[in-house]
Amino acid sequence: MESMVSNGVYHEWFRREFPEVEFIPFRRYFYSEVDVPMHSDASYVTLDSNTIMMAPEQMPDPETIRKVQERYRILIPPRSDLPNPTSRRYHLNTLSLDEKRMLANAQEKTMIKWLESYGYKPIPMEICNMNFC
């Protein structure tokens, strides 16, 4: 079953990057066992060429994690600062400008400090409006 909010480009990227991971069980994990909508841009976020940020609510099985860790550092971000976020993972949406700089939601102070603690340089940006955050 395909989620209406899934990102096909992400799945193609995952297949290219991790051909040794059997993709069918991986898809089944995301579409059968996770009971929340899956936006890949707020589930797995590439922070730089060696680091992936993963939403704790949608971690794959341990074998997939192990294979990903062979090539990437995995970071688990803090929870959102917002009292009633549109999504528990909305704050993971960042836009990388280069290996260190990225645009981040200005209201997510904890997330910004967390990114800085790993040497990143988040640029706070007001992105909340009546539909988001």
**Cα angle value 8/5/132 (rounded, 5°):** 130
Q: Please state, for a pLDDT cut of 90, what percent of the chain lies above it.
A: 17
CA 51 – CA 48 distance, rounded (Å): 5
Q: Contact 121/98 with Cβ under 8 angstroms? A: no
pLDDT at res. 10: 65
More confident position, 37 or 64: 64
- Amino acid sitting at position 105: N
What sign for the dihedral angle of Cα 28, 32, 33, 39? positive
More confident position, 1 or 9: 9
pLDDT at res. 113: 97
Q: Contact 7/41 with Cβ under 8 angstroms? A: yes
List the single range of 9-18, 22-31, 94-103 with lowest mean pLDDT. 22-31
List the single range of 32-41, 83-92, 112-121 with lowest mean pLDDT. 32-41
Place of tokens 């991971």: 21
DSSP three-state, residue 115: helix
More confident position, 41 or 124: 124
Residues 6+ apart with CB under 8 A from 125: 103, 104, 105, 106
Most confident of 74-83, 110-119, 123-132: 110-119
Most confident of 18-32, 55-69, 76-90: 55-69
